[in-house]
Amino acid sequence: MVQHFKVTIFGDRRPVYDGKRSLYTANPLPVATTGVDLDVTLPGEGGKDRPFKVSIKFVSRVSWHLLHEVLTGRTLPEP
């Protein structure tokens, strides 16, 4: 998906997917505040393609300082 939409959405950004619902990037994506819906087709078993609709929208900004504090053991993560 990232390669397919590299020119129009992702550019040089390397997004990270958490395996559930969230996609993270170091810099904001050039999508409208309302987000963007993408049609993605992945190859399935037996040569049968699997279509998906992926919605990308800005939800919040991550505090890199707080993340750094947690990863270096200076702050305990909150449950």
Q: Where do the domains of the chain lie?
A: 6-71
| Exposure of 4 in the CB half-sphere (CA atoms within 13 A) | 7
> 0.85 cut: is pTM over it?
no
In sequence order, which residues have a C-beta less than 8 Å from that of residue 43 and are 6 or more positions away? 49, 50
In sequence order, which residues have a C-beta less than 8 Å from that of residue 75 and are 6 or more positions away? 66, 69
pLDDT, one tens digit for every residue, the chain (79 residues) = 788 788 788 888 888 989 898 988 888 888 877 889 999 998 888 889 999 999 999 888 888 888 888 889 888 767 6
- The model's pLDDT over 56-74, given as tens digits with 9 standing for 90+, comes to 998 888 888 888 888 898 8
pLDDT of residue 79: 61
Output the DSSP codes for 25-77. Answer: -SS--S--TT-EEEEEEEE-GGG-EEEEEEEE-------HHHHHHHHTTSSPP
